[in-house]
Amino acid sequence: MATRLAQKRILITAGPTWVPIDTVRVISNIATGETGILLAEKLQAQGAKVTLLLGPVESCCLNKKIKVLRFKFFDELRRIMVRELKAKKYDIVIHSAAVSDYRPLKAYSLKVKSSLHGWALKLVPTEKIIDLVKKIDHSLFLVGFKFESWQNQKILIDKTRALLRRAKPDLVIANTIKRNKYEAYIVNLKDVFGPLENKEALCRKLIAVMGGYRWGS
């Protein structure tokens, strides 16, 4: 089905990232990549040219027309993303990966012995990959994601708009889980679309909002 997003070159990130503790241990999160995968499938079905950067999640059966590049570690995602943005001209970047916020100050070059009586790790913030995107290509349409647990709508939207001002994305998906119930909003500096009560509804609405953007020829 041809739409206004047909033939648009879209880069999507999805899934968690790892940061190493030692040669066999990592810090990660429980992200599944479901939203990014669903967006990749729906956008490809509308005729977009989709590249999906997919983290360490279970293999999934994707349309063969979707180009999939796999990563595991934070540094791998950063390297692949920068390479793609510099080498190719994308129209849209949807940065839905659950990127590690912290990394150990020191990653050990050998496996740390399991016989230790205790082990304190000092964590330091990671670089914000989303902040790099518009610095590499300010003309592309950037969608970011902001997750906050158990937040009311006002606090969630306020925190999301702080990200809008810092990284300059065109849209941010603000999402939370309250009482085991998913809730999401699509936010820019002027408008809020939502609440959206599941990932299917989020993907449909996001595609509709992006489709309403005044794209050039």
Distance spanning both ends of the chain, measured CA to CA: 19
- For residue 54, give the DSSP letter: E
For a pLDDT cut of 70, what percent of the chain falls above it? 98
Mean pLDDT for 4-13 is 96
- Domain residue spans in the chain? 9-104+125-211
Mean pLDDT for 191-200 is 95
Look at residue 30 and tell me whether its pLDDT is greater than 80: yes
Query: Rounded to the nearest 5 degrees, what angle is found at the Cα of 29, between the Cα atoms of 26 and 33?
Result: 120
Half-sphere exposure of 163 (CA within 13 A, CB side): 26
CATH code of the region 9-104+125-211: 3.40.50.10300
Look at residue 1 and tell me whether its pLDDT is greater than 60: no
Q: Is the pTM of this model over 0.75?
A: yes
Mean pLDDT for 162-182 is 92
